[in-house]
Amino acid sequence: MCGIVAYIGDEKAGPILFDTLKRLEYRGYDSAGVAVKSDGAIEVIKSAGRIADLEKVYMALGSPGESMGIGHTRWATHGRPSDRNAHPHTSGEVAIVHNGIIENYLDLRELLTEMGYEFQSETDSEVLAHLINFYYQGDLLSAVSRALERVEGSYAIAVLAASSPYLVCARKDSPLVLGRGEGATYVASDVPALLPYTKDVIRMKDGEIACVYDDRVELRDLAGVPHAAEVERITWDADAAERGGYPHFMLKEIHEQPRAIRETIAGRISEINGDVRLPLGMSDEETASLERVTIIACGTSYHAGMLARYLFARAAGLPVDVEVASEFQHLQVRPKTLLLGITQSGETADTLMALKKAKTCCMRSLAITNVVGSTVTELVNATIYTRCGPEIGVAATKTFTSQLVALILLAVRLGRARGHLTPDQARKMLIELTKLPGLVQRVLEKREEIREIAEAYADAGCYFFIGRDYLYPISLEGALKMKEIAYIPSEGYAGGELKHGPLALITDNTPVVALATCGRKIQSNIKEVRARGADVIALASEGDPDIGKVASVVIELPETRPVFSAVLCTVVVQLLAYYTANKLGLPIDKPRNLAKCVTVE
């Protein structure tokens, strides 16, 4: 997730671009840049670091440029944060800013290199600048349309050419909003950036391309068929707008999960080979010789690691040890072990210290993280990015479900390299995985039902979450979310463990959330707690004939593979915790005593 902006009007573009970029900083902040039209040429100012620092450089240069420009604030997905990887990217007299992922960029890069184009960055986005330049012969709209026909993936782009009297914008699977003002048109990834300038916005639709002038916008599809522009009057205040109209970042981030999962999968599946493209930093022979995996993580990331224990054993025949990072010092790693660190921030001190200690005795090390260039990436042989964009709420939501998806992709790659999965088995699983974002969307549509249940139990003295198999880690995650933001003492338990002690805590004021989409054994645990007076909120697959007979309330979820249903159950437990905390009037995005990133041991 990055932020892009553009301006064309009768004022100097630079100050407006910086002002709008600062309002998009929540979308990314590792590097920034602007390109402005100046004396018939394009001037680009960009660097790694915060927007405010870049703005000082711009002012020190005498605030160059006229009344037309584009800007970008980056959240790296391809290539670490650096001056060269910062946008805008240029080619000849063309400059572009891009938000999204160009999936076929390696093929395009090879082709353009053969044609003589020299690449300055490691980004996927730079191919767009060269492709547009290749087609540009004075008609920017036609050049951008032809370039986009060659591109697979997601994009929101703004394009500037020194000799073009208008800007071009286009979108597919990444947001882009045009704002119409008096004698000026503003462009941004999201509404908040535009509100100080105009409340009249046009939300571009997928597949649309726009010629942007100071006094009008002309919308078309890529085939050139004109579209009518629907102008919407925004009524939110600026604060709510930054959260996309959601009352809290956590709720916004919960709703971003279909997109986050899609981006985590993007460009990584090869249906033809029934395999996954992932940088493991080792050959298939080395992968086949692995004897086990040791996973190190904290908190929610640790729960993702726990799910991998079941997954890697089944898909790749690999036993897994999962260690809480702060306890790792007491353990030994065996040889022929793959070490895997999971950390959304890439900066958690406990995880970094444990990885440093363990990596010397492991065969290879990997990280799964959301932050390109974070410290963890320097400690390991290879990194798998989850590509969620920044997560602002302290409670991990979209970063967790994307970690689960990254682990599923990794399990398939390991399984294929080790000959544990056939291409056909892998292909079937991967095709189903591509449907997961749509299933998550269907769960999100149940939010009102989940809100009513959460509010009905908001005064509970204690909550239990139970699950078996893939759903045991999700029961732990449900309990962590409930503790973290609703401050309700909560326990996550493997269903079969209840009778070994915790059953003593069950009363009629202890709601039990039973994750019941994986197998039927959990039903006996439901009966055990019902017999002790507890209400049971069961999460079950649609059409389960028996669950209604044993549970007090049933939330039906789309039927899918057990491991994918872990993602669907996660969304429900996130919403349950969210609506409980909301009913209790708690500070959801910044719960007491907690920090988003824990950089002390």
Question: Which residue numbers are catalytic?
Answer: 2, 596
- Closer residue to ligand M6R in complex, CB, 154/383: 383
Residues that bind ligand M6R (CB under 6 A): 298-301, 343-345, 348, 351, 394-396, 480, 484, 597-598
- Closer residue to ligand M6R in complex, CB, 332/593: 593
Q: How far is the CB of 1 from ligand M6R (least distance, A)?
A: 17
- Closer residue to ligand M6R in complex, CB, 125/365: 365
Q: How far is the CB of 21 from ligand M6R (least distance, A)?
A: 26
Q: What span, in angstroms and rounded, lies between the C-alpha atoms of 105 and 514?
A: 44
Q: What span, in angstroms and rounded, lies between the C-alpha atoms of 293 and 474?
A: 21
- Closer residue to ligand M6R in complex, CB, 259/481: 481
Q: Please name the residue that has the structure tokens 């916008």.
A: 217
- Closer residue to ligand M6R in complex, CB, 105/465: 465
DSSP 25-90: GGG--SEEEEEEEETTEEEEEEEES-HHHHHHHHHHTT----SEEEEEEE--SSS-S-TTTSSPEE
Q: Please name the residue that has the structure tokens 């032809």.
A: 146
In the structure, how many helices (H) and strands (E) does the chain have?
20, 27
Tell me which H or E stretch contains 523: helix 522-531
> CB within 8 A of 280, min separation 6: which ones?
287, 364, 366, 382, 410, 413, 417
DSSP 394-447: SS--HHHHHHHHHHHHHHHHHHHHTTSS-HHHHHHHHHHHHTHHHHHHHHHTTH
Q: Which amino acid appears at position 478 of this protein? A: G
User: What is the pairing mode between strands 232-233 and 226-227?
Assistant: unpaired
Q: How far is the CB of 298 from ligand M6R (least distance, A)?
A: 4
Could you tell me the CA-to-CA distances from 64 to 11, 39, 85, 167 in Å, in that order? Answer: 12, 10, 22, 19
Q: Taking the CB of residue 474, how many other CB atoms lie within 10 A of it?
A: 31
Q: What is the CA radius of gyration of the chain?
A: 25
Q: Taking the CB of residue 284, how many other CB atoms lie within 10 A of it?
A: 14
**Beta-strand runs (E) in 134-245:** 155-161, 167-172, 177-181, 184-188, 200-203, 208-212, 217-221, 226-227, 232-233
Q: How far is the CB of 30 from ligand M6R (least distance, A)?
A: 16
Which string of b and e fits 169-205 if b means at least 16 CB within 10 Å?
bbbbbbbbbbbbeeebbbbbbbbbbbbebbbebbbbe
Q: What span, in angstroms and rounded, lies between the C-alpha atoms of 105 and 122?
A: 10
- Closer residue to ligand M6R in complex, CB, 220/483: 483
Residue whose C-beta lies closest to ligand M6R: 299
Q: How far is the CB of 591 from ligand M6R (least distance, A)?
A: 8
* Cα dihedral 573/577/578/580 (nearest 10): 130
